Amino acid sequence: MDLQYFNPWWKDGRVPSLLLGKARKIFHEILASLDMRQMVVLTGLRRVGKTTLLYQTIDALLKRGVSPYHIFYFSFDEYRKDFYDLIKQYETQTLREDFAKTQVYIFLDEIQKHADWASKVKLLYDLNPSCKIFLSGSAQIMLWKNARESLAGRFFEFPVSPLDFEEYLLFRDVWVDSDREEIFEGEIKRHLQDYIESGGFIEALKLEGILRKRYFKESLMERVIFVDVPQTFRLDRPEVLLTIVNTAAAKPGLFLDIKNLSNDLKIDQRTLANYVNYLEYALFLQKLYNYSPNLLTTEKKMKRLYVSNAAFTLALNPGLDFSLLLEQFFVNMLGARFFVRTPQKEEIDIVLADEKRILPVEVKIQDQVNAREGRYLFRFLEKHNLKKALIISRDAETTFERNGMAIRVIPYWKYWSILKEL
C-alpha cells in the first residue's frame, strides 16, 4: 500500500486546501495540547469533522516547521492493515530514522475499526516517548471494552460535537450582535430553524430539502446503524437498532419501559435493553433519568428516550410538531440528563444538575406563558432549596417571582440570553 496516498504533504509540504476548513473552538484546545506527552483522542459522531480537525492539526505542525516526513496519517475507515506492519512500513520506507529517537506525530483515524487497537497503541506510546499520537473514532464506542482503563493517564479526550449555533453562524458567514438579539429577531429565527434542520453538521449546510434528509438517513444514520454499531458490538440484528431509533423519533421523550416496549416491538427484553445501550454508546440516543437528589438511585427510576439530534428526528419524522421539535432540540443542546415526573404526574422537561448547579427548565412553545405554568416549578424550587428556574417560550419574556425565588421566561430564539441563564 502506498502510504503517500494518505500523506500528500510528503510530496510538497502542504495539506491540500480541500482537506482544511474553518477553525472551530475545539481546534484551539487541541493546539494547546501539542507539546504535552499525552495522546490526543477525538471522539464523536460520524461527519462531525474529526478528520478535518486532524488535518488542521497537521497543517499547524507543518507551519511550525515540523518535517513533513515526521507526520504520519492513516485511516482505518475503509482500509485494513496490520498495525505493526503499518508503523514498520512508515519507519523503514518514509521516516528512515530510528523511530524511538525521533520526534514524530502519528495520526490514526477511525482507530476503533482495528482489532485490539488499544493494547497496540498503548505499547507504541510506552516504547516511544518522543512519539505524539493522535486518535479519532466515531462516537464513544472507541473507548469502550476496557480501552479507557488500558490507556488511563495516557490521553486527553476531546469530544467533538456538531457545530453549536455560534459556529453555525460563522460557517454561514452571518454576524449577529449577541447583546442586541431583539434587533436581529427575524434573522435569528430563520437561521435557528435551519440550524436545527441541519443538525450542526457542516456537510448538511450545503444541502436542502430531500437531499438533506437523504444525507442524514443514508450517509449517516444507516451507516452507523447497519455498519458501525453491528461491527463494534458484533450484532446480528441491526434492523432492531433501526426500529428503536424510528420509535424514539416518532415520539420524542418516550418513557422507556423495556417490558412494554419489548412486547410492542416483539423484541426480547434483554436484546432490547442491550441495543438501546449500544445506540447510546454510539451517541445516537439520549436517555434522561427521573431526577433525584441522590444520584445513585436516579438511574433506577423511569427513563425518557430521545434521539440525540433533532435533525435525525426530522429526517425520520418530518411532520413532527414544532413544540416537540424544540423540546428535543433543547434536550440535545443542553446535554440534559434528567427530567422530573412525580407520582401525581407533575413534570419538568429538563433538570440540569451537576456539582455547580441545579436548574429546572421547562420548554413551553405556546402563545402565552402565565404564572400558572410555573406552579410546580416553584414547588420544586422550594423543595430543593433553589432560587432559579427557566421557562423557554415561543415569544413571551418575563419573570415570575415568589418568596425570593424567580422563574425567568425567555423566547426560544434568544439563544445567548438562554445561555446566560445556565
Within 10 Å of residue 55's Cβ, how many Cβ atoms? 20
Write down the pLDDT at residue 11: 94
Q: How many angstroms separate the CA atoms of 106 and 96, rounded?
A: 15
337: phi then psi, degrees, rounded to nearest 5: -120, -15
pLDDT value of position 142: 60
pLDDT in tens, 313-362: 999 999 999 999 999 999 999 999 999 999 899 999 999 998 888 999 99
Strand 254-255, strand 131-138: pairing = unpaired
Contact assessment for residue 302 and residue 256, using Cβ atoms and an 8 Å cutoff = yes
Cα 358 to the center of its chain, rounded Å:
22
Q: Which residues contact 310 (CB under 8 A, 6 or more apart)?
A: 196, 199, 325, 328, 329, 332
- Identify the CA nearest to 391 among candidates 334, 346, 349: 349
| Rg of the Cα atoms in the chain | 24
Mean pLDDT by 10 residues, the chain (422 residues): 90 95 94 93 91 97 96 87 89 87 92 83 91 86 64 88 96 94 95 96 94 92 89 85 93 90 86 91 92 70 91 94 94 95 93 90 90 92 96 95 96 95 90
Query: CB count, 10 Å around CB of 358?
Result: 18
Backbone angles phi, psi at 132, to 5 degrees: -100, 125
Are the CB atoms for 46 and 104 separated by under 8 Å?
no
Amino acid at 69: Y
Q: Which residues pair with 33 in a beta bridge?
A: none
What's this model's pTM, rounded to 2 decimal places?
Answer: 0.91
H/E run at residue 127: helix 117-127
Please tell me what DSSP assigns to residue 94: I
End-to-end CA distance of the chain: 51
pLDDT at 145: 54
Write down the H helix ranges in 38-82.
50-63
Instruction: Round to whole Å and give the CA distance between 130 and 4.
Output: 23
d(CA 291, CA 289) in angstroms, rounded, equals 6
**What is the C-alpha to C-alpha distance for residues 22 and 317, in angstroms, rounded to an integer?**
31
DSSP state of 24: P
Element of type H or E holding 95: none
The amino acid at 338: F
| Cα torsion 267, 270, 273, 279: sign | negative
Sort 247 into a burial class: Cβ within 10 Å, 0-12 / 13-18 / 19+. middle
What does the DSSP assignment read for 190-217? HHHHHHHHHTT-TGGGG--HHHHHHIII
Pairing verdict, β 388-393 and 303-307: unpaired
pLDDT in tens, 378-400: 999 999 999 999 999 999 999 99
Nearest to 422 by CA among 346, 333, 341, 357: 357
Superfamily (CATH) of domain 3-161:
P-loop containing nucleotide triphosphate hydrolases (3.40.50.300)
Q: Is 44 helix (H, G, I), strand (E, B) or coil?
A: strand
Neighbouring residues of 164: CB distance < 8 A, sequence distance ≥ 6 = 25, 200, 333
